[in-house]
Amino acid sequence: MTSLKPFHAVDLFRVNAVNLDVLTENYNIAFYLSYLTQWPSLFFSTENPQGEITGYMMGKAEGRGKEWHGHVTCLSVAADYRRIGLARTLVDNLERRSDDPYDAYFIDLFVRASNALAIGMYRNFGYSVYRRVVGYYGSDDGVDNEDAFDMRKPLKRDKNRESIREDGENFRVRPEDVYL
């Protein structure tokens, strides 16, 4: 049995096993703490019965007008706990919290265009590709740049589903044109 728990600053010392994945972005402590102080209700984890963190979600709310949305900054599940529904639990919880109290129009996330497993998972959760962000993931020297897909899922407030588009994979933008 896994429990959903609020994330606390001391939990940063307990997420190493979850972050040991080449596709999980790792951030400095100040970045994690800034999310924890600005959006504490959108930062949470799952724990096993022994109290070990098995996954976590780091999210935020941002934008203006019809671009007001929840954002998945980081979703990570420990390798031994994958394919048992923890990612869906974490995403569902962020969606609920983005609906109430944030009243967001949609949820979005960025995923490497080469990460077929994650793209398939998010599609199964109801997300679709909104656009391709050329060179979103990359190094300072520009050598290892990789495109990202901006994937979105409309929430209750977006009754007309205006936050998504049908041609997303072919709609290209540059990273500097993306509202972050």
Domain 1-104 identical in fold to domain 109-180: yes
Domain boundaries of the chain, sorted by first residue: 1-104, 109-180
Write out the CATH class of domain 1-104: alpha beta
Give the distance from CA 6 to its chain's centroid: 16
- 132-167, pLDDT tens digit by residue? 998 888 766 666 788 999 999 999 999 999 888 766
Q: How confident is the model at residue 17 (pLDDT cuts 50, 70, 90)?
A: confident
Q: How far apart are CA 118 and CA 151, in angstroms?
A: 11
DSSP reduced 3-state for 134: strand
- pLDDT for position 2: 85
Beta bridge partner(s), residue 149: 111, 132
**76: CB partners within 8 A, 6+ apart:** 15, 18, 19, 21, 24, 55, 56
Q: How confident is the model at residue 7 (pLDDT cuts 50, 70, 90)?
A: very high
- 88-134, pLDDT tens digit by residue? 999 999 999 999 999 999 999 999 999 999 999 999 999 999 999 98
- pLDDT for position 129: 94
SS (H, E, C) 21-83: CCCCCCCCHHHHHHHHHHCHHHEEEEECCCCCEEEEEEEEEECCHHHCEEEEEEEEECHHHCC
pTM: 0.88
Amino acid at 62: E
Nearest to 157 by CA among 65, 59, 77: 65
Share the mean pLDDT of the chain: 90
* Range 109-180 has CATH code 3.40.630.30: yes
Task: Pick 142 or 55 by higher pLDDT.
Answer: 55
